[in-house]
Structures are given as structure tokens and as C-alpha cells.
Chain A
Amino acid sequence: MAEREHLIRRGIFRTVVIILFLILVGNIFVMMVPQHAYYKDQALKNRQVRFRVRAPRGLIKDRNGIILADNTYIADITVPGSSLGSAGPDTTLSRLINWFDLPREDTLQRLREQKEAGGRGGLVLVSNATMPQIAAVEERGRQLPGVRVEARPRRRYLFGELFAHVIGYVGEVVTADLDTTGESTGYKIGDMIGKQGAETALEDRLRGGSGTKLEEVNASGRVVGRRPVWLQEVTPGLDVTLSISLEYQHRMAEAIGERTACGVALDTRTGEVLAAFSHPAFDPNLMTVPITADQWNDLSGNPDKPFFNRIVQATYPPASLYKPVTSLAGLANGVIGTSSVLEPCLGGWSFGNRYFRCWKRAGHGLVDHTEAIVQSCDTFYYQLGLRLEIDQLAAAARSLGLGRVCTNIFADEAAGNIPDTAWYDKRFGKGKWTRGVLLNNSIGQGEILVTPIQMALLTARLATSGKTPDPVFVVNPRSPAKMPEALPYRERDLAWVRRSMELTVSEGTGKAAALDSIAVAGKTGTAQNPHGDDHAWFMCFAPVGDPQVAMVVIVENAGHGSSEAAPVAGQWLRTFFAEGDSLSPPPSPVTTNGRGH
């Protein structure tokens, strides 16, 4: 081999090798020096994951500090946002969908919505994961890059149905919650928000503030054991104390039993609601996780409407419970005295070409004003009504708290209806209605509609001569109490109403609510129901001399107030005043997690 040729080859070979090495070194240099910051950042992103930490919601307690709603933790299985590209799910996501046997299209659609809503972290594939699901992910962690099991606080309602309508429940935010006013509400997809009752009214206090932390993760996306860096600390939600007492609420539910009914009891001195129960109710624990189709159908298909909050949403004609209102209107306007006697009751009253029946077909005969209340004589009140103007009657009703929303925690509270001239003019046209409406109005029928909470307030105001403020459901934080306006009635007229109601219980239609040692004053009512059987009403307060508690019970489609509603009130009052030995042990918290399957 020629020496020169050899040297040329050696030169070529060396040159090629050196060029190749220069390319390698040059490339490494570019990566490690000019692009170093970029890769350093990538490496940091590789191992630092920003976690949003949801705040535990404030506790809800009863007036004695017993916890009614607290928080537990449940696990969500999340996948990284990048696992759902425009082309569809990646292999990891597809694998998980198969493992968990999820409906593929529905799941992908749900995840897509989550992604579009702009959640920064992972997408929640499985909410409230079961132990086998968690175990499946934990065991195969290395094959599931980015898949995490994340703990999340979950609301727990310790007494289930008992407070369903008062406390309400929380549920996942919907798109409208995320941006209702155009400004940031701080809600992220998957957050919980109050959907009903106190949970909604006190949302701002209960929710707290979520925190953000940076955690170091390894290649499997698992948090490794170093201290997180908190970018923002979690602010736990603040606690809330209700005016309701667990024990009184439980007694109310016991007294109501299986009836479709509602009972409300107020502290007459403060307006604090001591018990408020609407039956049938639902288990709010079912609402904090996606409810199953079967559970939903059971609840929504129930003809007695468990979701219907009868305390504030249901409106009924007050029927005979209205008679003291008509009496006060008559007394205040000087059209009648407390011992006046009107035409005798022969089972009804003719007005125009219509005959208005008294509930007692045989008639009450000659009754005075007091007798009329005690015996609940309709005929007497037809005549009294005809002596009044419709606006005088409406004013009396409003002065006692009817015809308006009277609480501040229920978003969907009904105002009821107290018709007056303006209302009838609007409804039927000017001059197209007659004073005949007064006959129905005077006995609390016709177009008058009231809610149980309004009637409880009315009862309390009768008991305290109007000193009871509007109903209060929350004592901490306490909203500033607005002192009620003084009632435009003479004290002796009010005292006469109370005396009449006392007689109603002691010897009239309300005997079923009488107690052994405490004087109870009350009034029964039977509301005509065009859709079915009459609703049974009863209102009462006690003790008569020094009123402490006012309560109202309505039992739907049950018949007469005297036989159906008054006994419920009686049972509750007996336990309230600790009479008898019928006390069952106080309730203990429910321990189900509401999964229900």
C-alpha cells in the first residue's frame, strides 16, 4: 500500500471522526448552554406539579353545638389533560376506560367538557372511586404516567333526611357557577357549591378558600416525600350554627311520622326556629356525589315530592287559622266587639245567588265572637267579613307577617298571596269582582295562600303581641335583627284572641294539643284542597301566660285539623315541655356514606 495513499485515508478518516464528534459536542453544547434554561424549566415541570387543594367546608352545627354536617375525604382518579387530545384518548386513558368498564363516549364527552372548562390540573375520570379502582391504579402506577388518586373533601350530613330541607346540600358547580357575573368566582370545575338551603345562603362563609401547592412528583406522577411549596395556603370554611336543635327537630320528625306534612316551631321571644321539618325528605348525602339513575328516579318519581321544601315553598289556604286575623281586622276597624253576637248559624250564609256553607252543616246556632273562634263557625265570619273592606283584611294579614318572604336563607321561598283590591282588579278587572270574595277571604279560603313558616310567625306574633322578629334559622353568624313594627291592635283585643285560642284547645277543636301542666293556645284549620282531600292545619303557642314557643303543623290530604294536625303538635309540645315518658333516645349520626349501592 502506497504510503501517500495511506496518509490520505488516515486524514479522511480522522476528519470524518472529528466532524462527527464536533457535531455531537456542538449539539450537546447548544442543549446544555444556550437552551439550558429551557430544559431546566422542562425538568422542573417534569417533577413539579401544581395541585389545587380544596378547602374543607365549614361545619354546620345545631344550636347546642352538635355537628350536623362535616367533611370526609373521598378519592378521585384523575388523568392528565394531555391524555385527551384532539385525535381522541391516548393509550393510558383508553386502558383505564376499559379497566373500569366506563361508558366510553359519555366518559370522553364529560372529560372533554372538563378540559374545555379550563381545569388546570388533571381531569376527573372517576369521582368517589371505589377501593378496587384505587388499588388498580396504585398497583399499576408505572404503566399509567400522570394518572393520580386525589383526595377531596366530601360533605357528610350526619343526620341524613332530618335536616335535608333546612341545610340543603352541596353539589358540583355547574358552568353557570363558574362565571355568573363575568368576574372570577373562584370556582373550578369539580368544586362543590351549596345547592339548597343554608348551604346556599351561607356559601360564602362555608366554602373557605382553596390553596395551591407545588409538589414534587416522580415519573409515575406520584408525589414524592418532600415538603410541598405552598403558593397559597388553604383557608378552611367557617362554621355555622343553626337555631334548630337536633333534639327538637328529631321530635318533630317523630311526631310527623310517615305523614306528608310539615311542622315548624319558633322561639316566640327571638324568632329562632327550633324545629322545621318537611316530610317526606331525602338523604342529602346522595346529592354530594353523582346520583345513580335508580336513586334519582325513586326520589323524583315519588308523588309526595321529597325535594319539595314545604316549610317555605308550599303554599296553602290558611283556612280557619285565618279567623283570628279576620277578628282582629274587625276589632281594629270597629265593625265588631269581642262579645258581639251576629245572626245565628244555620249551616251557612246566602250572599248574592250563592250559599256559603259552614263546615258544620247542622249549624252552630247563636254564637258570640269568642264562641265563633272556639267553634270555628264559618257563618259568623262570613257576616264579619261582609262588614269589612278587602284591603282592611289584607292589611291585618300583612301586619302579622303574611304575604311576604319572611326568611333570608331560602332562595326559592314562596311569598304566598294576600289579595287586596289592586290584586283583584288586576286578576278579574276593575268592577268585575264583588264583595263576595270577602266571604271566602274571611275564613282563609279563596285566593289567600300562606306558607307554614309564615303561619308560624303569625302564631308567634299573636302570642307576643307582635314582638317576635322574623324567623331566624342561623344564630352564628347572626344577621342583625330587625325589630318588628308594633301591631296596630289594642292589647285587650290581642289578649282576647289569645284567650279564645286557649279556649279552643281547652274545650274546642284543638283538644288534641292540650298538655297536662302547661296552658296551650291554638287554632285548628281544614284547608279545602281542589286537588284532593283537605289539608289539616294546626297552630298553637305555649305557655299561654308566658309564650315561649309557637308552632304550626300542616298535614296534607289528611282531613280535619282537629283530628289530624293537632295531635302532631300535641306530641311535639309534650316532648318540648318534657311531659310524659314517651321520650325515645336522641338520634345518633348516620354513618352511611350515601353511596347506596
Chain B
Amino acid sequence: MSFLSFLFPPGDRWIFLAWILLCLISLAVLWSVTEPIHGPYHQLDPGVAKGIFFRQVFWAVIGYMALLVASRVPLRYLDNIAIPLFLFTVVLLVFILLAGPVIGGARRWLAIGPIRFQPSELAKVTFILVTANILGRSVEEGRGLVAAMVSFLVMAVPMVLVLREPDLGTSLVFLAVWVGMVFWYGFPGVLLLGAGSAAISAVIMFYSESVAKEAWPWGLYVLLILVVLYFMRLSILSKVVLLAVNIGFGIGIPFFWEKLKGYQQERILTFFDPSRDAFGSGYQAIQSKVAIGSGGLFGTHYLQGTQKGLAFLPERHTDFIFSVVGEELGFFGAVILLGLFLVIILRGIDYGAAARRPFGRFVAIGVVTYFTFHVVVNVAITTGLLPVTGLPLPLISYGGSNLLVSSLLLGLLLNVSSRTFEN
């Protein structure tokens, strides 16, 4: 193996190419975002420091090395150390909850000297590995519902710990990745139906309760469920359980609502009606839509975006970076960006089916679900389809942990893809 070929990871070239292009887009957009604010008031509104761009360059190099390493580590070895690794992360998560520094009202960071690190990001990797381990082993030993249940409990641990930090966005990542992986495992359709309908029930109940202030939408939904269940070929027990789950979630949502923090309630309410707080939490949603919509087909051209340039966009270098892509690069730029992610996801699904060993399949699907969830939810938030919750756009948003973990996960995907036909 020559040195040059060492620089190229094994496996799918398209995924690696997509990684390179996404990193370059990220750097280009961050260069634009860190240009100084127009006008004489720069001292009052310093904008985003140029240093952000250079730090992202540094993290891209680190991410590249992580990708190289992850793409070559023997998967069997990872399978073996998945459980200890996961336990280690759980310890870290517990530790920061007890003793981590409070930054911005949350305990999310572990500070070692000058380096700040979010254990919840590491947890995304180890969680995928441990779930792949559990489900993969179960597949080899003959499937059982027990493995799915165990994996759920395993998922619940980091999810609850991260929710306590508090970090709602990241905690939902665990749930989403688990759903994707368990689906791949072969979850009984009736349970999926139960979970899905329960979620819908909860959303409708929430809508009835806090926005419409009337009970009939939820009542209508329960009626609909009854009709559907009547025509379905299911055991009586399943039907009763399904109905109970639906009603339970619906009635439970007001209690859950009470548990939410004030700012979280506010964000969700504002999602349904952004103008209710045009300068508060609705501001981000409104400004983000304005920036994207004003981009048009071809954008306002690189470095020329006024919403970005005049600092109308908050969090424009992190969670709302897609707004800058939309404003400056336009519809075509946004579609190219989404297309690159779609390349990773669709090819990843193929490897999830084609990988030789179950552990690799589940790792691939975990990585795919991670990217799908992050991209879909982040873009949906910036375009006003979902309420504002902190969730970065993988590889694009500024942030070392995000870039490192996303690259590492893609390295794992490349690793799986390189072992498809291996015996």
C-alpha cells in the first residue's frame, strides 16, 4: 500500500467525494459568514470572527484523519469493544451532569484544558456501535423481540441523560437512530403502527390542547383510529393495546407539556405562530425564511447576501447555516447540497443491505439514519417546517464535535462499504 493510497479511504468513492465536497461547501460558506458586517457599527456588531473559519479548517483536517482511521479499523474489533465503549460514554454523560461546567444554562461540555468536548456527540457513535452489536448478535442468534426491547432500554439511557443537560435536539437523535436501526432489524409492523399512531395522537392532542384550545381534533383522530382498527386483521389484544397506547399518549401529552421548560414551550408555540414573538424565538424562524426565500433560483451570489451580511440571521454560522446557503447560493445551491447528502444516504442504505455481517449492516443504517435525521430536521427548522430546536447541519455547520463525529461516522460507513463482498 503506497502512501498515496493510504490517504484515500477504502470503500465507496462517491461517499468520500460527497464528504470532500460538503467540507469544501462548509468552508466556503463559513468564509462568507465570517466576512465583516457592513457599515460603521462593526464595533457594536462584530459579526462572526474570521477565526471560526480557520478553526473549521483545523477540524476538517482532524475529521479527515478520524475518517481515515474509522474506515480502516477492523469492524469485528469495534463490535467487540462496543459495549465497554458505550458504558464509558454513559459514565461521561453522568459525570458532566454531576460536575460539568454550566455554559449557557446547560451542562453539555467536558472541558479538558483548552479543549471543550460534548460527550453527547461521542455518545452518538458509541450508541450506534452498541445498538449494532446488540441487534447484530440477535440477528445471528435468531431474531427476538427481547433484543429490540433491550436496545430500546440501551437507547433510553443516553437519551434521558442528554435530555437532562438539557439538549432536546440531540436527545431526539438517539430516538430517531434507534427507530431506523430497529426498523432494519425487522420490527413487527403492528408495533411500528402502534408507535407511529401514538406519536400522531400526541401531536394532535398537543395541537388541540395548546393551539386550537378545543378537544374535537383529537376526538376525531381517535374515531379514525377506531375505524382503521375495525377493518384491520389483527388480534383483539393487539387492537385493544393499540387503542390504549393512542389514548394513553394523547392524554399523557398535557402532563409532558407541563414538564417542558418555559423556553421550550415558547418555541413550540411560536412554531405554530411565529409572529407571536417576532423579535424573540420567532425571530430566527422568520429571518431564516426571509433569507432563504430571498435567494431565488440562483441566490444573491457568494458573499453578497444582505440578511447574512447585515446580521439579520442569528446562529448563521451554526444551526442556521442553511439559510446562508439558500440566500447566497439560491435554490440550485441548496439542491446540490441536499443532493450530496442524498448520495451518502441512498448509497448508505445499499450498504446496509449489502454488508456481509449484520454488525456492519446496522452500523451503516445507524449512520444513514443519523444523517437523515440531522439533515431533514435541520433543513425543516430553517425553512419553518419544524419548531426551532438546536440541531446542526452535519459537516456544514461550524463546530468541531459535529464535524469530527460526522466524519468518523462516514468513515465507519466507508469501512462497511469496503467489506461488502469480503468473506
**A positions within 8 Å CB-CB of B:** 1, 5-7, 9-10, 12-14, 17-18, 20-21, 23-25, 27-29, 31-33, 35-36, 38-40, 42-43, 46-47, 82, 90-92, 138-139, 141-142, 145-146, 216-220, 222-226
Contacts and interface: CB of A to CB of B under 8 A. Distances in A.
Contacts, number: 159
Interface of B: 37-41, 44-45, 139, 180, 183-184, 186, 278-280, 283, 287, 289-297, 306-307, 310-313, 326, 330-331, 334-335, 338, 342, 345-346, 349-350, 352-353, 358, 365, 368, 372, 376, 379-380, 383, 385
A18 B383 CA distance: 18
Contacts of A38: 293
A225 B331 contact: no
Given A43-B306, A145-B283, 7 more contacts: A24-B379, A24-B383, A40-B293, A46-B290, A82-B278, A92-B279, A219-B310
Given A31-B383, A218-B310, A218-B312, A21 B294 contact: no
Contacts of A220: 41, 44-45, 311
Nearest to A217: B310
A32 B331 contact: yes
Given A33-B331, A142-B44, A218-B312, A43 B291 contact: yes
Contact of A218 (B37, B296, B345, B379): B37
26 contacts: A1-B139, A9-B353, A10-B352, A13-B365, A14-B346, A17-B345, A17-B372, A18-B346, A20-B376, A24-B338, A28-B292, A28-B335, A31-B289, A31-B292, A32-B334, A36-B294, A36-B297, A40-B293, A46-B287, A141-B44, A218-B38, A218-B41, A218-B45, A220-B44, A220-B45, A220-B311
B331 A17 contact: no
Given A17-B345, A46-B312, A224 B294 contact: no
Contacts of A5: 186
A10 B38 contact: no
A138 B44 contact: yes
Contacts of A12: 183
A141 B292 contact: no
Q: Pick the 4 closest A-B CB pairs, nearest first.
A: A39-B293, A224-B39, A43-B294, A218-B310
A141 B326 contact: no
A7 B342 contact: no
Given A38-B293, A91-B280, A47 B306 contact: yes
Contacts of B380: 24, 27
B215 to A, nearest CB: 26
B186 A1 contact: yes
Nearest to B358: A1
A387 B340 CA distance: 117
B295 to A, nearest CB: 6
A219 B311 contact: yes
Contact of B295 (A6, A32, A216): A32
Contact of B326 (A21, A32, A225): A32
Contacts of A91: 279-280
Contacts of A46: 287, 290, 306-307, 310, 312
Nearest to B330: A32
B211 to A, nearest CB: 17
